[in-house]
A and B are shown apart, each in its own frame.
Chain A
């Protein structure tokens, strides 16, 4: 059905005045009104996301503008987070009112956001691919279905509950039973020094990365599973008939067939990890102004900083603290938009390549 057909006034036959009685004309009118309602309602509704998004970005930028003007590029390299003296009279620098001694740098936040997300993705991708393979190729249906549902449940668990478990159960467990073992037994060479040193109390960079990995695994695994199910049987059977083992079929046929889809899902997972707030705020330690010296140390991310600092920032009467949070939010929003647009481009390319026949 082409669009030209659909765009015709569909009621024309019914509403033809030369042939229809008053009753059919009224029915035709009702149908025309209904169609107009669907179209109008749909058009209005589908503009709401873009309007909302634009408003959000505008508000963010307007709020961030004083901070952007005063901080300049130093915001990206500085690592202090000093609200200044809010009891002393406010001072004006470059036309921006701010408390005496206020100084903000977002480098630890930005770097912490990147670090936790990269750890999460590095752990989550192999786990997700393995999980998807086990669910589609290895396990019998009666076992794969409930386990698949378990993964879906994991996707639906509120992040604040994952954070609760992470900070009260997982973190202490790891810092008692796993981290010391790793930290004490690794050789003291250049690349591995990051994994040595004090292991802390289970709140920190590695725990955050692990918790984030657990949160993005369902996203990547569910997409990968659906992609694997779309791989047609013939190429796989052909490869097997040529004498490939199942590992070789997976590595040389199944995964390459849907590779860009997996990459797209991974990038989507990365986007989720960048913006995740509650779980990270609970397990990262939320320590401001510090880049983690080793992988166990406490740190913070942009999202965790906004959620934990907005309360106190609101007490800054000059609004400069709020403005700095807006600037870091703007950075986070930019990161998330870039990542999402990239994922979208990759997925779109994959859906052209990976679905050769049979999908209308």
Chain B
């Protein structure tokens, strides 16, 4: 080492830079992971000491009471999004990946459709909520309603589902498609039985993450779903529907401790919901990866 030091006087500087680089990357990770743990732990620590299971089975009274209506409302919204946005998003992804005609130079086609998906995926959610309010709730006289909330929420997550479906389909080896065609399979049949079947875990993972996003959304719902302390009624129009994020947002700055409990309880339930969805998405990915490695 001493020889190196003599011939390259910058060695100490380079070594210091190397140490700095290692330290910096670990520090950055700590600065990201630390607040993430702090955040989840902070909600758990606030919510758990006052946690009562009856929260799940009693109706809300605004700033006190339970969250049964909100939990069921969130689940209804998620189910609706799964049907509406799931259907549209998966079909869009399949179309953009498999069916659209590629351009002359081999680049993927569907230019303007793809741009719209990209732009919509970054579109501010509150602007969608505003348009839902003025166009659907007021303009079409739907009032605060399940349908308005579903349409706006779906518009928000469709791009996400479309993109994840498309990337799942792109990971299906071209050999599969060629093999299916060589066997004389009709296009639709090959698509269903070979291509989509192989991409299914990726598609489902994207759907689960999109559901987690939809369940945690607030801004597009505040002025489309309204608020209600009653159980969801499954009426599509004129009936407001409650959801968990609403109680986090309205009760956190109320003066009573009960309101704070409601806020933190709703946050805890949301975190558990999101974790369940993300962990199951993770498990699907891990399982299919193991499967893929074993067949290789």
Contact = CB atoms under 8 A, between A and B. Distances in A.
A41 B91 contact: yes
Contacts of A307: 126, 129, 219, 222
Contacts of B209: 156
B130 A310 contact: yes
Interface string B103-147: 000000010110111111111111111110111000100000000
A147 B29 contact: yes
Interface stretch (B36-44, B49-57, B62-70, B233-241): B36-44
Given A42-B92, A310-B223, A333 B32 contact: no
B216 A38 contact: no
B32 A277 contact: no
Interface string A123-150: 0001111110111011100000001011
A340 B123 CA distance: 9
9 contacts: A1-B181, A3-B101, A31-B186, A42-B98, A45-B95, A129-B28, A138-B25, A152-B282, A156-B277
A149 B282 contact: yes
A326 interface: yes
A277 B124 contact: yes
B131 to A, nearest CB: 5
Contacts of A127: 28, 31-32
A49 B29 contact: no
Contacts of B26: 130, 134, 138
Contact of B120 (A53, A133, A135, A278): A53
A129 B89 CA distance: 31
Contacts of A157: 39-40, 216, 271, 274
B118 A340 contact: yes
Contacts of A168: 252
Given A161-B43, A245-B14, A310-B130, A131 B32 contact: yes
Interface stretch (A56-64, A77-85, A181-189): A56-64
Nearest to B128: A56
B77 to A, nearest CB: 13
A247 B21 contact: yes
B33 interface: yes
Given A11-B186, A130-B28, A161-B270, A38 B94 contact: yes
Nearest to B102: A3
Interface string B182-194: 0011111101100
Contact of A156 (B14, B181, B216): B216
B35 A336 contact: no
A191 B252 CA distance: 37
The 7 closest A-B pairs by CB, nearest first: A130-B28, A158-B216, A42-B95, A275-B124, A34-B188, A45-B91, A247-B21
Given A10-B188, A59-B135, A161-B39, 6 more contacts: A39-B99, A45-B91, A130-B25, A150-B37, A153-B274, A274-B124
Nearest to B267: A161
A254 B293 CA distance: 27
A164 B267 contact: yes
Contacts of B212: 156
Contacts of B223: 310
A167 B278 CA distance: 26
A118 interface: no
A329 B130 contact: yes
B228 interface: no
A31 B128 CA distance: 40
B135 A245 contact: no
Interface in A4-41: 5-7, 10-11, 13-14, 28, 31-32, 34-39, 41
Contact of A164 (B37, B87, B263): B263
Interface in B218-235: 218-219, 222-223
B278 A156 contact: yes
Given A153-B40, A307-B222, A49 B117 contact: yes
Interface in B258-273: 263-264, 267, 270-271
Contact of A275 (B125, B134, B159): B125
A344 interface: yes
Contacts of A214: 32, 35-36, 39
B187 A134 contact: no
A116 interface: no
Nearest to A56: B131
B87 A333 contact: no
B254 to A, nearest CB: 12
Given A50-B116, A275-B124, A250 B87 contact: no
A38 B249 CA distance: 42
